[in-house]
Amino acid sequence: MMIILRHRLISFFRFLQFRYALFLFSILFFACQKENENEAQIEAIPVQVVLDRFDLKFYNQPSSVIPELKKQYPFLFPKQFSDSVWVSRQTDSLQLLLQAEVNKTFEKTTRVESELSHLFKHIKFYYPNAKVPRVIALTNNVDYQIKTVYLDSLILLSLDTFLGTENPLYDGIPNYIRKELDPKYINVQVADKFAASVIPLPEDRTFLARMIYEGKKLYLQDLFVPHTNEEDRILYSPEEYAWAFDNEVYVWQYFVEKQVLYQTQPEWVQRFMEPAPFSKFYLQLDNETPGRIGSWLGWQIVKSYVAQYPEMPLDDLLRLPAQKLFNLSKYKPKR
């Protein structure tokens, strides 16, 4: 009798496991089906981004082009500077060297244009009223703090900040910055700028609010550049991404034990949110960590919330106060 009962229980639990597996499969199947339908709709959106190569119109050209360029691009010629400044820049040996490197790296721009078109198809799908911007390519003295500028219907794209990690012109730039100076990050940088333009700024100065804000930006990248590797969306190497994934629970425990979430001192943002060679726990393992680990955790919290409320409208999600989002996310780091 006991043996029969045991067999029946085993059969019952196997049946439950089968039903649960079938349930999960159904969810994944319909999610993939919906995603495929969305992608088909997105690809049908008529968007064509073409790079306006201001850099080619300015360098290796006679000074006589300057008056006409000032008419076409008045926002690139501050009025306080006379034409002699621009003529001098046209013939400056360092600027010409920089432009030569840009010409080599971006001899053809079809791939960049295709990827930007793909990006703005996705943006238009989620934000139908968003304007497809005019994208102006220029050089900007390798100012890696301003690689892209997004202004509603205009993008300024500094091509000299995307020449590739190993480019000798970047010698002397710290490695954690150099690794981001690669053409593969153009889409990510533009998507980040657009995300910042539609997400309300944090409602308070707590570390948690900043984490959630950065997490929302990264979540929008999940939607805007879904075919880009996840590690590239947060500007991590595969090794840095693996470290964050493997140590998520320990980082979270550190933040909880140190009561970091509701701190308002800028030092916490500097240590765990801003670009850096590593996050500053002030522990022996610091050199193993990637920078911006607070942004990584904010991303996981937002994804946890979306998993709980998959039907929530995107605008409502982005406007949800950080504390409420966190409370409802049921976030629990993976062990």
Q: Is residue 157 part of a domain?
A: yes
Q: How high is the pLDDT of residue 28? A: 38
Among 286, 228, 225, 227, residue whose Cα is nearest residue 254: 286
**Do residue 160 and residue 221 come from a single domain?**
no
| DSSP string for residues in 164-207 | -TT-GGGTTS-HHHHTT-SGGGHHHHHHHHHHHHHSPPPSS--H
Q: How high is the pLDDT of residue 232? A: 97
Q: Which residues contact 81 (CB under 8 A, 6 or more apart)?
A: none
CA distance 10 to 16: 10
Q: Is residue 5 part of a domain?
A: no
Judged by phi (left if over 0) then psi (alpha if -120 to 50, else beta), residue 331 lies in beta
Taking a C-beta distance cutoff of 8 angstroms, is the pair 228, 188 a contact? yes
Q: Which residues contact 175 (CB under 8 A, 6 or more apart)?
A: 277
Q: How high is the pLDDT of residue 31? A: 44
Q: Is residue 73 part of a domain?
A: yes
Q: How high is the pLDDT of residue 334? A: 78
Q: Is residue 45 part of a domain?
A: no
Among 181, 190, 199, 212, residue whose Cα is nearest residue 305: 212
**Do residue 70 and residue 123 come from a single domain?**
yes
CA distance 306 to 328: 10
The model's pTM: 0.87
> What's the angle, vertex CA 326, arms to CA 123 and CA 309, rounded to 5?
55
Q: Is residue 26 part of a domain?
A: no
> What tokens were used for 3?
């043996």
**Do residue 80 and residue 123 come from a single domain?**
yes
**Do residue 152 and residue 215 come from a single domain?**
no
3-state secondary structure of 113: helix
E strands of the chain, at which residues? 51-53, 134-138, 148-151, 154-158
**Do residue 192 and residue 278 come from a single domain?**
no
**Do residue 211 and residue 173 come from a single domain?**
no
Give the total residue count for the chain: 335
Q: How high is the pLDDT of residue 34? A: 54
Show contacts of 316-324: CB within 8 Å, 24+ apart.
317/216, 317/219, 318/198, 318/199, 318/200, 318/216, 318/220, 319/200, 321/203, 322/202, 322/203, 322/204, 322/206, 322/208, 322/209, 322/211, 322/212, 322/213, 323/208, 323/209
Count of the separate structural domains present in the chain: 2
**Do residue 241 and residue 112 come from a single domain?**
no
Q: How high is the pLDDT of residue 203? A: 85
Residue ranges in the chain whose pLDDT is less than 50 = 2-3, 5-6, 9-10, 12-13, 15-32
Taking a C-beta distance cutoff of 8 angstroms, is the pair 179, 165 a contact? yes
**Do residue 114 and residue 132 come from a single domain?**
yes
Note down the domain range covering 169: 51-198
Question: At which of 153, 176, 198 does a domain end?
Answer: 198
Question: At which of 198, 215, 237 does a domain end?
Answer: 198
Question: At which of 149, 166, 198 does a domain end?
Answer: 198
How does pLDDT run across 273-320, given as a tens digit for each residue?
999 999 999 999 899 999 999 999 999 999 999 999 999 999 999 999
3-state secondary structure of 150: strand
Q: How high is the pLDDT of residue 214? A: 98
Taking a C-beta distance cutoff of 8 angstroms, is the pair 272, 294 a contact? yes
Q: How high is the pLDDT of residue 225? A: 97
**Do residue 189 and residue 64 come from a single domain?**
yes
- Beta strand 154-158 with 134-138 is parallel
217 phi/psi in degrees, rounded to 5:
-60, -45
**Do residue 182 and residue 89 come from a single domain?**
yes
Q: Distances in Å between the alpha carbon of 257 and those of 45, 151, 252, 253, 262? A: 48, 41, 9, 6, 12
**Do residue 194 and residue 55 come from a single domain?**
yes
**Do residue 249 and residue 281 come from a single domain?**
yes
How does pLDDT run across 6-22, given as a tens digit for each residue?
455 445 445 444 443 44
Q: Is residue 302 part of a domain?
A: yes
Q: How high is the pLDDT of residue 16? A: 41
CA distance 106 to 126: 30
Q: Is residue 14 part of a domain?
A: no
Q: Is residue 250 part of a domain?
A: yes
